[in-house]
């Protein structure tokens, strides 16, 4: 399991420590991820295709808050 975000992680679900889905990883740049909370269907599709971008409603996510990264999700140490 990894704790560092890579560009190919874009589009993955982001889960709080209790397993609650809080959003989707919309963009990864220089190891920092950006999470869109409760994304629209269009935002989800763009993220999965790697077309996501940093928007005003995206929350930055640094590696210190990541517990692990799996094939389909980013699991946080706490809550977002």
Express each pLDDT in 15-51 by its tens digit: 999 998 888 898 888 888 998 887 665 566 666 666 6
Q: CA angle at residue 1 from 27 to 57, to 5 degrees?
A: 20
Question: Cβ(29)–Cβ(52) under 8 Å?
Answer: no
The tokens for 52 are 């996501």
Give residue 46's pLDDT: 66
The per-residue pLDDT for range 51-73, each reduced to its tens digit, is 655 566 778 887 789 999 999 99
pLDDT of 14:
93
CA 30/CA 12 separation, integer angstroms: 17
Which pLDDT band holds residue 6 (cuts at 50, 70, 90)?
Answer: very high
The structure's pTM equals 0.77
């Amino acid at each position: 399991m990894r704790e560092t975000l890579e560009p190919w992680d874009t589009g993955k679900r982001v889960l709080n420590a209790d397993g609650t889905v809080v959003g989707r990883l919309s963009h990864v740049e220089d190891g920092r991820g950006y999470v869109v909370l409760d994304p629209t269907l269009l935002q989800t599709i763009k993220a999965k295709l790697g077309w996501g971008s940093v928007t005003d409603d995206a929350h930055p996510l640094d590696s210190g808050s990541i517990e692990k990264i799996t094939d389909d999700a980013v699991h946080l140490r706490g809550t977002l």
